[in-house]
Amino acid sequence: MTSLSIRTAALTLLGAWMCVSCSSTSGTNETDAGTDSGMEPDASQPDPKCNGHEELCDRGFDEVAYPMTHNAMSNDEVEPPWILPNQNFGITRQLNDGIRGLMLDTYEEDGELLLCHQFCIAGSQPLLEGLGEITTFLEANPDEVIPIILESYITHAQTAEAFDDSGLLDFVYAHEVGKPWPTLGELIEANTRLVVFQGESQEAEFPWLMYFDDHAWETPFSFSTPDDFVCDPNRGDPANPLFLLNHFLTATLGGRPEFAEMVNYNPLLIDRARQCEQEGEALPNFVAVDFYNIGDLFEVVDALNGL
């Protein structure tokens, strides 16, 4: 039995109701979409300041919107590809294309630390390898600030060791609750350009591994159809300065490009972002989507940033 058949059979036993042929067709569509709309960096242009825009340099970290990928590690680019991935491309391509926020899930399986989602047999990447891709990007792009939101099923110490081994500890920023956030320019000047949150309470030994609920809040993240979208608070306190807008459909176990085609385009995406901004009286800082290269994510983030 092939590796893909083994992984597919395991998912079937776990209750995945979508067949292998459907996921294969999905992978073909995703590749076509990525070919049409993936952006390539222009090496002829000088690197602009502060996440691509000098206008953002004097804004606080909490006064900026960031295009973010949901389940950033789950992608169709690796071999073998993930079953029902949430993105077409891997972490390096995402960052090169302009993504400036990553949602990552961390697990331990058979003694190995992995990036995966729910069932590592559906797809995985060594944690150290994935973090190393972020390190490489930060080293090559000294004017970029990257927030990460971890859904972590490993210990704080294991996370810290992986960050240390990957070189990312050189870039992390630790923020004190209640203090004003530094500007992007200040984070860049101090070279503390990686802002890390996770869903577990903070431990004093790792002040840079910040508890999401202490600093941010989010909308719900489980929507089956576009009509289900709401802006209601879910986790975290709406009084917190940072706001995560979850904008993806979760009607299946994994991602589907057809869902992104339904919800990633304007006017729906910009209208929902503006609606949630108005209802929550907060800028959507992290705009998280599946299949970022489908639709108008970057245009919406620019609009939210007034660019």
Asked whether residue 18 is assigned to any structural domain, the reply reads no
Q: Cα–Cα distance between 222 and 208 in angstroms, integer?
A: 28
Residues of the chain with pLDDT under 70: 1-48
Beta strand 124-126 pairing with 112-116: antiparallel
Rounded Cα gap, residues 286 and 100, in angstroms: 9
CATH code of the domain containing 190:
3.20.20.190
H or E, element range at 287: strand 286-289
> Are the beta carbons of 78 and 124 closer than 8 angstroms?
no
| Rounded Cα–Cα distance for residues 267 and 273 (Å) | 10
The confidence score (pLDDT) of residue 92 equals: 98
Residue 6: inside a domain: no
pLDDT of residue 116: 94
| 263 falls within a domain | yes
User: Which residues constitute the domain of residue 132?
Assistant: 50-304
Residue 4 domain flag: no
The pLDDT assigned to 48 comes to 59
> What does the pLDDT look like over 136-182, one tens digit per residue?
999 999 999 999 999 999 999 999 999 999 999 999 999 999 999 99
Q: Are 103 and 248 in contact (CB under 8 A)?
A: no
Tell me whether residue 142 is in a domain: yes
Q: How far is CA 215 from CA 147, 168, 175, 181, 232, in A?
A: 13, 21, 9, 10, 17
How many Å apart are CA 298 and CA 58, to the nearest integer?
21
Report the distance separating Cα 213 and Cα 195, nearest Å.
14
List b or e across 30-45, with b for residues whose CB sees 16 or more CB atoms inside 10 angstroms.
bbebbeeeeeeeeeee
Residue pair 101/146 in contact by the 8 Å Cβ criterion: yes
In a domain, 265, yes or no: yes
Q: pLDDT at position 47, please?
A: 52
Side chain identity at residue 273, one-letter code: A
Residue 115 placed within a domain: yes
Is residue 27 included in any domain, yes or no? Answer: no
Q: Could you give the number of structural domains in the chain?
A: 1
